[in-house]
Chains A and B, each alone.
Chain A
């Protein structure tokens, strides 16, 4: 069965850090561009960052540049998002997603990040 499973979310104070992990199974992880997409409560989808199959290219949306770092370990079928200097408006469900090109054909169920004092 093809699946992506996120972990690492939780409650963190403003200014704090968190590391999200996504593990893939049932497909060739190293064939896929991988992304993080977030969704604030009651709001729409927002792309956060992506990383190329071999990790050689990484891109970020402007509002996380300098605060978030995306990485992957193909040997462990894993995708990561290191988040620093978290703010209240980073509160969201974070999904990992993958696609051979830019479409996102594989999705995890998400991990909730709550930034609050």
Chain B
């Protein structure tokens, strides 16, 4: 089974900051990684897929990088709407998807 480990679990930042969230896979997953944003009481929203491809309609301040086992999500200039919980998800095989445990981005 592939395990996904996100860090940090909680991140405090201010509007305008640049923040980075990391996601590590327990084995190589090539670039089969997605990032989601979830707000309380809402469904997750896809931000990035194939590690670095921005989903249509997602602001360009979001970017993703990495391959193999190490991945990052970067938000270049935090906006008030960005405070939420972020999840990575691997989909290296259709037989097994795994989410990271989540990173809660809080207002400092």
- The distance in angstroms between the C-alpha atoms of A45 and B35, with both chains bound, is 12
- Given known pairs A35-B97, A44-B102, the reply for A103 and B91 (CB within 8 Å) is yes
Question: Known: A102-B32, A103-B49, A108-B43. Contact between A47 and B94, CB under 8 A?
Answer: no
Minimum C-beta distance from A85 to chain B (A): 22
In the complex the two chains form, is A50's CB within 8 Å of B94's CB?
A: yes
Q: Is the CB of A103 within 8 A of B34?
A: yes
Which A residues, 103 to 117, have Cβ-Cβ distances below 8 Å to chain B?
A: 103-105, 107-110
* Chain B residues within 8 Å of A104, by CB: 34, 36, 44, 46, 89
Task: Tell me how many residue pairs across A and B have CB atoms closer than 8 Å.
Answer: 67
Flag if A50 contacts B45 (CB, 8 Å).
no
Least CB distance, A98 to chain B, in whole angstroms = 11
A46 touches B99 (CB 8 A): yes
Q: Is there a chain B Cβ closer than 8 Å to A89's Cβ?
A: no
> In the complex, how many angstroms separate the beta carbon of B56 from the nearest chain A beta carbon?
9
Chain A residues engaging chain B, CB cutoff 8 angstroms: 33, 35, 37, 44-47, 50, 52, 57, 59, 61-62, 95, 97, 99, 101-105, 107-110
